Amino acid sequence: MMALTLNIVGAGHVGRVLGRLFNGAFYVQDVLTRSRASAQDATIFMQAGTPLHDATALRRADIWMLAVGDDQIAPVCAQLAATGLLEGAVVFHCSGAKSSAELATARQAGALVASVHPVRSFADPAAVAQDFAGTFCGVEGDALALAQLGPALAAIGARPVVIDASAKTVYHAAAVFASNYLVTIVDAALRAYQAAGIPPDVARELARPLATETLANVFRLGPEAALSGPIARGDLQTVARQQHAIDGWDKPTGALYAALVDATTALAQRKHLNQ
């Protein structure tokens, strides 16, 4: 049997990695980006596809992947739906923040729709493409669309997890907490060490075992068991002294510390209930 054809619209880090991985599971046909140079660069990375920068040159395809920015999903989908090329196709986007409802115009044009969000950092596309197997992907949308995408996802080693489309924004916020805000909190720790006169390179080495061992404990034991420190012990005087000191050193970091106290106190209460 001939492989299903795949058109890719948008080929940033996520789009080009998935395009490269899907090559074989699908026949990568047209790759549309905003410029001829970026389209050519994307197809070279994917080792497949015809580079396009003019939407009028797009051909029909069985599968359409929209790997554009979140705010562009709905307008790009509407433009594609107006061409009549989407009837009978599966259209999916890769956003973690937006649901498949952004593809309503594709559904109205006779397509099945879905979203597939790989839970990975794509800062280094080549590295992710080499080490993608085992990556979780949050998926939702039309059941028939997910059924058609399923074999290709299995072929690239993805681990689909069905999510509630109505909670897509909360789902994406979870990734922000687990990744982006984690970096912000570690940065605050490193700057606090440096404020105490510790050189930056030494500060990173001081924080490394605390951070890595704590994360290992969270995933091995659960957050309640992993929590330690003054709030877990009920040492509110130490918390107050730290708050006062941090406020005097750096107001924004003091606000961050204060914002985490209530959430950590609630976690500590769960910890004691489980003991």
Q: DSSP letters along 159-174, please?
A: EEEE--GGGHHHHHHH
pLDDT in tens, 49-77: 999 999 999 999 999 999 999 999 999 99
> Which position has the higher pLDDT, 274 or 161?
161
> Rounded CA gap, 155 and 153, in Å?
5
pLDDT of residue 114: 98
Average pLDDT over residues 214-234: 96
Q: 72-103 burial by CB neighbour count: b if 16+ within 10 A, else e? A: bbbebbbebbeeebbeebbbbbbbbbbbbebb
Instruction: Return the percentage of the chain with pLDDT > 70, whole number.
Output: 99
pLDDT in tens, 116-163: 999 988 989 999 999 999 999 999 999 999 999 999 999 999 999 999
pLDDT of residue 1: 55
pLDDT of residue 25: 95
CB 168 within 8 A of CB 131: no
Q: DSSP letters along 65-110, please?
A: EE-S-GGGHHHHHHHHHHHT--TT-EEEE--SSS-GGGGHHHHHTT
pLDDT in tens, 167-194: 999 998 998 999 899 999 999 999 999 9
- Domains by residue range for the chain, with CATH: 5-163 (3.40.50.720), 170-273 (1.10.1040.20)
pLDDT of residue 131: 97
Which amino acid would we find at residue 79? Q
Residue 194 C-alpha from the chain's centroid: 31
